[in-house]
Structures are given as C-alpha cells and as structure tokens.
Structure 1
Amino acid sequence: MDWDKLRIFHAAAEAGSFTHAGEALGLSQSAVSRQISALETDLQVPLFHRHARGLILTEQGDVLFRTVRDVVVKLEATRTRLSDSRERPHGDLRVTTTVGIGTNWLTPRVGEFLELYPDIKLTILLSDDELDLSMREADVAIRVREPVQADIIRRRIFTMHFHAYASVAYLKRFGEPKSLEDLDNHRILTYGVLAQNYLNNINSLHFAGREPKNPRPSILTVNNISALRRAVENGVGIAVLPDYLAVADTQLVRILPQADMPELECYLAYAEEMKSVARVRVFRDFLVANAQRWDY
C-alpha cells in the first residue's frame, strides 16, 4: 500500500470530506478524490460511502482507518522523541579536558550545571592527550589552545593567567626573590611538557633574565600541574602555576609581579555535527555565561 495514498485517506476520514481533507493537505478536492479512488482500486474494496453530507467509512474503510491511525500516532510519537533528543537537554554528555583543568577548575563548577539540567548524565574524561572529537571519542572538549581542525566549532571561554608562586614556608626559609636575577639563588621547579610545545612558556622562570642558551637548572620536573602545585605548597621550590590553582590556597604567595608571565586562551570545542544537540548547547551556554567570573 502506498503511504501517500494512506495519508490522504486518513486525512479524508478525519475531515469527513474530500474538500476539507484537501484544505488540510494543500491539495485540490479532485486530487484527494482521485487518490482515494486509486487506493480503493488497489485494495479492491470500497472505503467510503459518499453522501451529499460527507463521507462515511465502510466496514473495510473503518478497519483500514484504525490501522492507519495507529501508524500515524506512532509516527508522531517518534517525531516527538527525535525532536526531544535534539531540543531537550538530556542524555549522556562526555566532556574531555586536561587533568589539571578537569581536576581543579571544571569539576568544582559542574554541580551548578547539573542542578540546572538534571536529565543530563555528565562524564568527564581527563587526559593531557587531545581526544578526537570528529571520531566521537568525546562530545565536547575544553582545550588550552585553539583547535585547528576545519570541522570543529570553537568558542573562547576564558583566559588562563599564570604567575610565579612559592609557599609561605619556602619564603621563610629561602627569602623572597625581588628581581629576576635573584632567581639564580632559588630552587626552580619545572612543568614537564614533552609533547605539548605550546605549554613550554609555563617554564618561563628558567629563562627570565637569562640567555636562552643558558637556562636556570631545575631541581624537580613534574608532568602533572596538580602535582607541581603540591610540590610548591610543600616548600620544595618556586614554579609558575595557573592562578585558578593558587587563588584559594592561603599557603601560596604570588611573587615577582614585574615578571612577564604566560597566558593561555581556553576554548570550548565540539564537532560540527553536535552543534544542534541540546545538551551540548546548554553546556556551551553555561560556560560562556559564567566565563567572566571564572576568568583567571
């Protein structure tokens, strides 16, 4: 059975006339009548009793109408579910970011988001390697550099500022460096970034006030920013840290305010195909709306 003919039959049965069915479907009365006649020919049964006052379903027509009506109801329910999956914020949302940002910046803030959207199930994937959004390894990424892929949508959400920090205990023991030259007599800690060259500026204390070929030595290298902060907290030495890691720590002191320190722009990124997904949209809007108060 041809669905177009069944659709027109359903409209005629609902409307009670070919004229009203044609108005609902954007067809002429004669076009509706032809399609119904063709369907009756295909099925070899009459579907309507045609009267001057309108259409009355035959017994066979009533059987067909009940079946087609059930199909129409199911199709409408399916359309609604498909629309909901696009429009209503719910379902699984996988967000990937670095271990440092995820542990210390993102997870303390997602409680507010989940209260706003309780139907979203959030998974945070922490990795200093960038997961492939195009291959759906994650839905959304928060990255500390602008994505270069053409099929990735990106939105700057905040600037990550860095400064030199030392612990109160360290400064009591070794004194506070007042100039870049004073760093020659201090214990410098390094953030180990072997593959991410764009993060090398974080280790600016090694080169500040020195020739590039003659950097200050490091007494400790750590490839995890949270672990580096713990080393600074415990008086091991001085390191450059993102401000979001240090602002709430009363044991850390910002030093060398005159030094030129790095900044990194943080971006929200997601694949082009995800731009109409409601849970992605609301997560993006949540971060953007709060970016100003979170700008470190």
Structure 2
Amino acid sequence: MDWDKLRIFHAVADAGSLTHAGDTLHLSQSAVSRQIRALEESLNTTLFHRHARGLILTEQGELLFDATKSMLKRLDAAAARIRDSEEEVFGELKVTTTTGFGTLWLAPRLHKLYEMYPDLKIDLMLEERVLDLPMREADVAIRMKEPSQADLIRKKLMSVRMRLYASQDYLDSHKPIDSLSDMPNHRLICQSPNSFQVSAGSTLVQHLLTFEPQSLLTVNNYFGALQAILANVGVGVLPDYLTEDFPNLIRVLPDVESGEVPVFLAYPEELRQSKRVSAFRDFVQDEIFAHRRRMRVLAEET
C-alpha cells in the first residue's frame, strides 16, 4: 500500500473530517478526498461511512486505523532513537507513573533534572492505568509492581510500605491512639476501596476497618489523602516515601504497616541506547539513593 495514502487516511480517521485533515496536511479537501477514494479502490472496500456531520470508520476502516496507529508509534520510536545524540540529552521524554508517586515524590524533584539537561522536554503522565510501553504510549514507567509486559528493561528502585500518619495538631486535639483498639475514637483517611491501589495497601485498609473507626474519609489518590491528613481531618494511610518531604506528618502506631510494595522503573528494549532514558533513569536512581541515606540518618537520630 502507498504510504502517502495511508498517512492521509490516518489523518482523516483521526480528525473525522476531510476538511480538518486537509488543514493538518496542508492539502485541499478535494486532494484528500481523491486519495481516500484511490485507497478504497485499491483495497476494494469502503473505509468510511459518509454523513452530514462527518466521517465514521467502517469495520474495515477501524482495522486499517489500528494498523496505521501502530505504524506511527513504531516510527515515533525509530525517530526518537535517531534523534538521540551520543553526547547530548534533548528532545521529548514521555514518563508515566501513579498519581501519588508522580505528584508527591517525582514532580518536586524534576527541577534538578532540568538543571542538568535544560533542553529536555518531559511529558509527565500521571494515571493508574498501565500504559503500553512497547506501543510507545510512554517511554519510561515507574510502577508499584513489576511490569508484566514483554520486551521491557526493568529495574527495581526501592520498596515502600503503607503506614498510618496524622498531624501533630490533630494528635494534640484528639484522644490518644496507642493501639488499634483506639480506632473508634478517630476518623480513618484512606484510598477508596473502588479506586486502583496496590494490594498491600488495600489489605492494610481492610484490616483497619475491622476496628470500626469513628468515621471514614476515602479519596481516590494519595495526594488528596495527604492534604486531608495535614488539614487535621483524621488519621490516614500513606506511603512511607512521603515522610522526608512532609516533616509535619507524625507516624501513628509504628507497629502497623503494610507488606512491602516494590517500585520498578521500566522502558522498552528498543530504547536501551536512548540518552534521554539513561539520563532519567540515572537521575531517579540517584535521588532514591540520596533519599534512602537521609531516611537512615533520620532513623538513627530518632
């Protein structure tokens, strides 16, 4: 099949309009229409249903659109590798991680990476959905479990645990909490049972609920839970990587915690030589090593 025709087809399918696709491609509507008709004739099929409000893909059109999307992602991957300089770090790097880790740990540290590589452009995608790295939905992922996708380079960065925290103001103005039997005197703040979360955190929350806390505030991410805890709303479940950056958090019931949650960094095998990926990987590893050292010092001081 002619690549120019496929490129034009993809633009039309993506825009849902000959006119909008033409504007994107800097072609006239009639030129775009001729190319689509020629492609349909070469395939002996209809790719679009035409109606007054635009174009809708037929079943055959959907199949071809899936193929062109895959092709473009592969081309993007190839272009990214070609653009990577042997000596410099520049260009776009698509990073995905969870909302909690990305908002509360990663984003506040990125200024250090930009100081080293000012020409780097990071597209930070924070969501619980696991993006498809081999299909180039992202270049690098940091996840709270080992990735299961094939053809990925993966490295364990650290382990975290979910623990109970409160603010000092909250503890000063409420009844003591010396054991889990005191939970009926306190409001529990945790992730919503219906939101995506690591199984270790969910297991800890279910255990805490058996002690019948006074009331409950559920939030669908740890950023919201953290804000509620700092605002003296109650006692909450948070990952332990927050304690360095938020010294106002006071750990409650030190013997209560979740099992270990592994944190992995992963990227496609085809980006093994990418200078952008290497720079980001090394930066995250260095930050985590420094974080661990500081936490050990804090533990020794207390």
Q: TM-score, normalised by structure 1?
A: 0.64
Paired letter, 1:224: N
- Deviations 1:4-46, CA, capped at 9 Å, x for gaps: xxxxxxxxxxxxxxxxxxxxxxxxxxxxxxxxxxxxxxxxxxx
In structure 1, the partner of 2:100 is 100
Please point out which of 250, 254, 259 is paired with 1:253: 250
Q: 1:218-246 CA deviation, whole Å, 9 max, x = no partner?
A: 52111021111111111211111122334
Which one-letter code corresponds to 1:233 in the other structure? Answer: L
Q: How far has the Cα of 1:89 moved from its partner?
A: 2.1
Query: What residue is the counterpart of 1:284 in the other structure?
Result: 281
Task: State the secondary structure of the residue aligned to 1:158.
Answer: strand
- The amino acid of 2:239's aligned partner reads P
User: For residue 240 of structure 2, what is the aligned residue in structure 1?
Assistant: 243
1:104-123 equivalent positions in 2, closer than 5 A: 104-123=104-123
210, 217, 228: which one pairs with 1:220? 217
- Match of 2:267, SS state, is strand
Q: 1:287 to 1:248 in 2, by over 3 A?
A: closer
Shift of 1:141: 0.8
3-state SS, counterpart of residue 161 of structure 2: strand
Q: Deviations over 1:172-199 (max 9, x none)?
A: 2222311122223321122115353634
The alpha carbon displacement at 1:201 in A equals: 2.3
Q: What one-letter code is carried by the residue in structure 1 that aligns with 2:251?
A: R
Deviation (angstroms), 1:159: 2.1
Distance in 2 of aligned mates of 1:115 and 1:201: 35
Q: Is the 8 A contact 2:81 2:274 kept in 1?
A: no
Q: Does residue 85 in structure 1 map to residue 84 in structure 2?
A: yes
Helix, strand or coil: the match of 2:257? coil
* Match in the other structure for 1:263: 260
Paired residue for 1:293? 290
Structure 2 contact 189–234 (Cα < 8 Å) conserved: yes
The match for 1:73 is: none
Tell me the percent identity: 39
RMSD: 2.5
Residue number in structure 1 paired with 2:153: 153
Partners in 1 of 2:82 and 2:246 — Cα distance?
Answer: 46
Deviations 1:269-291 (A, max 9, x none): 11111111111112112222332
Secondary structure at the aligned position of 1:107 is classed as helix
- Amino acid across the alignment from 1:176: P
Which residue number corresponds to residue 130 of structure 1?
A: 130
Aligned length: 212
Runs (4 or more) in structure 1 with deviation over 6 Å come to: 81-84
Q: Does the 8 Å CA contact 2:113/2:283 hold for their aligned counterparts?
A: yes
Aligned partners of 2:168 and 2:249 also within 8 Å: yes
Question: What's the offset of the Cα at 1:82?
Answer: 7.7
Please give the secondary structure, in 2, of the residue aligned with 1:239: strand
CA distance in 2, matches of 1:106, 1:293: 14
Alpha-carbon distance in structure 1 between the residues aligned to 2:212 and 2:156: 34
Amino acid at match of 1:269: A
Determine if contact 1:162/1:202 at 8 Å carries over to the other structure: no
SS in 2 for 1:219: strand
- Give the distance between the partners of 1:91 and 1:198, measured in 2 at CA: 33
Query: 1:231 aligns to what?
Result: 228
- 8 Å CA contact retained: 2:157, 2:288: yes
Any unmatched runs of 5+ in structure 2? 1-79, 296-302
How far apart are residue 125 of structure 1 and its match?
Answer: 1.2
Where in structure 1 are there 5+ consecutive unaligned residues? 1-80
In structure 2, C-alpha distance between the alignment counterparts of 1:261 and 1:225, rounded to whole Å: 15
Q: Provide the C-alpha distance between the structure 2 equivalents of 1:82 and 1:229, rounded to a whole number of angstroms.
A: 39
TM-score normalised by L of structure 2: 0.63
Distance 1:263 1:82, change over 3 A: closer
- Contact kept, 8 Å, 1:202 with 1:240, in 2: the verdict is no
